[in-house]
Chain A
Amino acid sequence: MSVSSAELLRQIKNRIDEIDPSEVKELIGEGVAIVDVRGSEEFATGHLPGARSIPRGHLESRIESAVPDRSAQVVLYCASGARSAYAARTLQEDMGYEHVRSMTGGITLWKDRGYEVEIPRALSAEQRDRYSRHLLIPEIGAEGQQRLLDARVLLLGAGGLGSPTALYLAAAGVGTLGIVDDDDVDLSNLQRQVIHSTQRVGIPKVDSAEESIHALNPDVQVVKYPVRLNAQNIMEIIPGWDVIVDGVDNFPTRYLLNDATVRLRIPVVSASILGFDGQLSVFKPYDGPCYRCLFREPPPAELAPSCGANGVLGVLPGTMGLLQATEVIKLLLGIGDPAIGRLLLYDALAATLTEVKVHRDPDCPICSRDPEDIRDDELGVFPDYEAFCAAAG
């Protein structure tokens, strides 16, 4: 027995629920999943506000990550209401989605009614190719990639941690990378600082890093700060960045950075390394604890191995720096569970990752207060600030 395509569509529409565009308009922004099942080129010409793109050919494989809850309200649409009807049948009968509806008349009728259409900024053909593996991930897609391209991330240091972080954030298409570092490339850096090279020993690290970043991805703008972050320049450098990556190697700067970022409400992805051990946490002001909640005071200089040269396994900053890069991308895209309120302890020799909880301290000298109450002269203050590294020799 054969049926015409018109008859098949009529039969399918009898088995599914449809919804008029006027009702869909009321559902936008109400937590209903609106899914565009057209091809990605059609989606790029304009779509319903807040809609996600899952081309019908990928529907079965991608719908679960976009809409994990089978009882969620789902509205599907296409150009005219045919492809979305077939897609609704699949979700309802084959995959067990309980509340699926197909929008009558598709986006054509939607536009005829004069309802709002969102036109995504288009990635260039080269960008679609370069970032194609991101575009295939539903959590990123073209919208997420555009968000990365618009993002501004400041890296404190183009050293052990900053090298891998900068390279991978550049590769991922984070549009603007700031780098604060006043050092020149030294031969002893190259055991771990993979953004630099033997030919570039002796040149400023910010210049060397910029060269590697542009060679990898010319989309990325590099803003160079060949200075050491301190109390005099911090409020000129850090405002306006979306996320700060902390790879600083000393306690005074770490406390200064904490206090200033709490005041400006900028999230910090922080890591530190020593020998075979690494630590990582995300400090998102007022959503979680700050660095002073974790450690109210720095250790005395003789117990703080941060001021002089210490040994570190060359690959360890790679491991920790890439965990930082991952957390940065999660924060920028608003996906997953960033390590807020958690400290991860990586032991390379044991190959273990231990996690401990970090709580907001209700008596924290910084983040228990409103940001506008934190004064300039309080930033980075702790006992023996001046004497700190001098005492360590």
Chain B
Amino acid sequence: MATIKIPPVLRASVGGKREVNASGANVGEVLRDLAASHPATAEQLFAADGELNRYVNVYLNDEDVRVLQGLDTAVGAGDTLVILPAMAGGR
């Protein structure tokens, strides 16, 4: 099981949780497992072509998966995924 850190804008889609666990051997599988348990996250994470949306970054521990092997990047049991959509708000 990997740990996924949920950003504020997605928390409503996972019942308000800040972290959830999901299974899978690579980033794509872990995120699809998340989407299976919490369907509202799917359209926010994935574009129509099945790739990650351009406005969402996913980090395996501290590294951007786009500079690794993208959704095919292997995920170990103790790893943390950070989902990071762009955020604005300074007022």
Q: Which residues does A use to contact B, with CB under 8 Å? A: 156-157, 159-162, 189, 246-251, 254, 271-277, 279, 294-300, 303-306, 310, 312, 317, 343, 345, 347, 349-350, 354-359
Contacts and interface: CB of A to CB of B under 8 A. Distances in A.
A271 B91 CA distance: 11
A195 B7 CA distance: 29
A356 B63 contact: yes
A294 B67 CA distance: 12
Contacts of B82: 345, 354, 356
Nearest to A192: B91
A303 B64 contact: no
Given A354-B5, A354-B82, A355-B62, A296 B55 contact: yes
Given A295-B57, A303-B44, A354-B82, A249 B62 contact: no
A161 B85 CA distance: 20
Interface of B: 5, 7-9, 18, 44, 53-57, 59, 62-64, 67, 82, 84-91
Nearest to A250: B88
Contacts of B88: 248-251, 254, 272, 298, 304, 306
Given A275-B8, A356-B64, A295 B86 contact: yes
Contact of A247 (B9, B63, B90): B90
18 contacts: A161-B90, A162-B90, A249-B88, A251-B86, A254-B88, A272-B87, A274-B89, A277-B8, A295-B55, A298-B55, A298-B88, A299-B9, A303-B55, A306-B87, A310-B89, A345-B82, A357-B62, A357-B63
Nearest to A291: B86
A317 B18 contact: no
Contact of B54 (A160, A297, A303): A297
Given A157-B91, A275-B8, A297-B54, A349 B18 contact: yes
A185 to B, nearest CB: 12
Contacts, number: 102
Given A249-B90, A251-B88, A350-B18, 18 more contacts: A248-B88, A251-B86, A254-B88, A272-B87, A274-B89, A275-B8, A277-B87, A295-B86, A296-B55, A298-B88, A299-B53, A303-B44, A305-B87, A310-B89, A312-B91, A345-B82, A345-B84, A357-B62
A358 B55 contact: no
List of 5 A-B pairs having minimum Cβ-Cβ separation, nearest first: A247-B90, A306-B88, A295-B86, A299-B55, A159-B91
Contact of B55 (A297, A345, A347): A297
A370 B28 CA distance: 36
B64 A358 contact: yes
Given A299-B85, A303-B85, A349-B18, A157 B44 contact: no
A172 B37 CA distance: 50
The residue among B5, B82, B87 with the most chain A CB atoms within 10 A of its own CB is B87
A359 B64 contact: yes
A259 B82 CA distance: 27
B64 A304 contact: no
A349 B16 CA distance: 13
A294 B56 CA distance: 10
A6 B55 CA distance: 74
A296 B57 CA distance: 10
B75 to A, nearest CB: 16
Contact of A298 (B8, B86, B89, B91): B86
B55 A356 contact: no
B47 to A, nearest CB: 11
Nearest to A352: B5
A345 B82 CA distance: 10
Given A254-B88, A295-B86, A310-B89, A274 B8 contact: yes
Nearest to B82: A356
B63 A159 contact: no
A306 B89 contact: yes
Given A296-B55, A345-B82, A354-B5, A272 B64 contact: no
A295 B9 CA distance: 16
A253 to B, nearest CB: 8
A189 B90 CA distance: 12
B9 A272 contact: no
